[in-house]
Structure 1
């Protein structure tokens, strides 16, 4: 996903005005994310300016609309969280891959709890964030096809789609949010519950796969 807040590579630019401008934008975007991480689901312009050590006037010069700042902050968070894929060994036992994926996503989704609340709160005033959320969901879904490529490829097209839908529900952000925010489980208990549920769903979703049958 393109990072709105960092549109230029300034490594070969010597114009101090451009360099300073990009530095200010970075500070404002980072200040927004810092506030979001503390639980502020809709940071005000004044709060962002204070955290960044800048004036509200400076913020307005770089981000005339708060929606642009919110979008830039969200896209930066996505780029940091999903910029690098964890290598997946397709030959590893299915049980191992389930464990690794649950571990990875527990860490990631726990970090994303305040960011998800932020996105849900401001997507009405920043439509681009709504688009970004949809892309994020698609990215998470696509990565499942990598983690479980061998099992999914062994299924016929209809079963493959149904299996991927089940995996997406099992390992999706909504599943983690349900355990943590609706059921109010602790991170440790939620992690254990999630893994048990995911293992059960995976075995059912990939029941037609020879590898899954062997792993079971």
Structure 2
């Protein structure tokens, strides 16, 4: 075997090992995500390993501890949610934009809801997870600022930030969880309630002018 062939063979072997490592890691993360989505607040390694078809030792070969694994799971979820959201332009009737905003948030949060306890617990324990969650709020605020720019600009300067804060609070993930799980509202009822709150914010602040 000449030098070039040997080099190529080694490259292929390395690539093959890399693919196996990536597939194993993906299987572990997917299994932990499935357990979290099923309602487990802190999926245990034994169950994760069994679902992924690997040993517990293999799990810890890929992740330093469960916290690192959980953060990887959260990153997967949030990346999908952020990727699915679209920036809303400030065009069309305000009622139409409110409905579009509520529908977008409802679709995203309904996916997140089954594992919200997992998310809340993780962000209390991990600064990295907390930072990741804060990205949702930042994205929401930026989207609100853009989608309702004409309405916000029409408010007195001292009212704009207050209105924006109230809107961000209304469409926060926690608000959706409260409506759906604490108040036992249907998806449609929760959408209607959020729409009512958002419209009320604009009406209240406009009345202050």
The TM-score with structure 1 as length reference comes to: 0.81
Alignment of structure 1 residues 15-30 onto 2, 5 Å: 15-30=15-30
Over 3 Å counting, the alpha-carbon distance change for 1:91 and 1:97 in structure 2 is same
Alignment of structure 1 residues 92-107 onto 2, 5 Å: 92-107=92-107
Residues in 2 aligned to 1:91 and 1:192: alpha-carbon distance in whole angstroms: 21
> How many Å apart are 1:178 and its aligned residue?
1.8
Over 3 Å counting, the alpha-carbon distance change for 1:17 and 1:161 in structure 2 is same
RMSD: 2.3
> How many Å apart are 1:92 and its aligned residue?
0.9
Q: 2:81 maps to which residue?
A: 81
Larger gyration radius, structure 1 or structure 2: 2
> How many Å apart are 1:189 and its aligned residue?
2.3
Over 3 Å counting, the alpha-carbon distance change for 1:48 and 1:15 in structure 2 is same
> How many Å apart are 1:177 and its aligned residue?
1.9
Q: 2:53 maps to which residue?
A: 53
Q: Is 1:204 aligned to 2:200, yes or no?
A: no
Over 3 Å counting, the alpha-carbon distance change for 1:55 and 1:92 in structure 2 is same
Residues in 1 aligned to 2:30 and 2:93: alpha-carbon distance in whole angstroms: 40
> How many Å apart are 1:40 and its aligned residue?
1.2
Higher helix proportion, which one? 2
Q: 1:7 maps to which residue?
A: none
Comparing 78-87 and 35-44, the one that deviates more: 78-87
> How many Å apart are 1:87 and its aligned residue?
4.6
Q: Is 1:66 aligned to 2:66, yes or no?
A: yes
Residues in 2 aligned to 1:20 and 1:101: alpha-carbon distance in whole angstroms: 41
Mark the runs of 5 or more structure 2 residues left unpaired by the alignment.
1-13
Residues in 2 aligned to 1:87 and 1:129: alpha-carbon distance in whole angstroms: 24
Mark the runs of 5 or more structure 1 residues left unpaired by the alignment.
1-13, 210-216
Q: 1:32 maps to which residue?
A: 32
Given that residues 68 and 126 in structure 1 are in contact (C-alpha distance below 8 angstroms), is that contact kept between their aligned partners in structure 2?
Answer: no
Q: 1:213 maps to which residue?
A: none
Residues in 2 aligned to 1:131 and 1:180: alpha-carbon distance in whole angstroms: 25
Q: 2:158 maps to which residue?
A: 158
Number of corresponding residues: 197
Given that residues 88 and 143 in structure 2 are in contact (C-alpha distance below 8 angstroms), is that contact kept between their aligned partners in structure 1?
Answer: no
Residues in 2 aligned to 1:115 and 1:141: alpha-carbon distance in whole angstroms: 23
Alignment of structure 1 residues 80-159 onto 2, 5 Å: 80-159=80-159
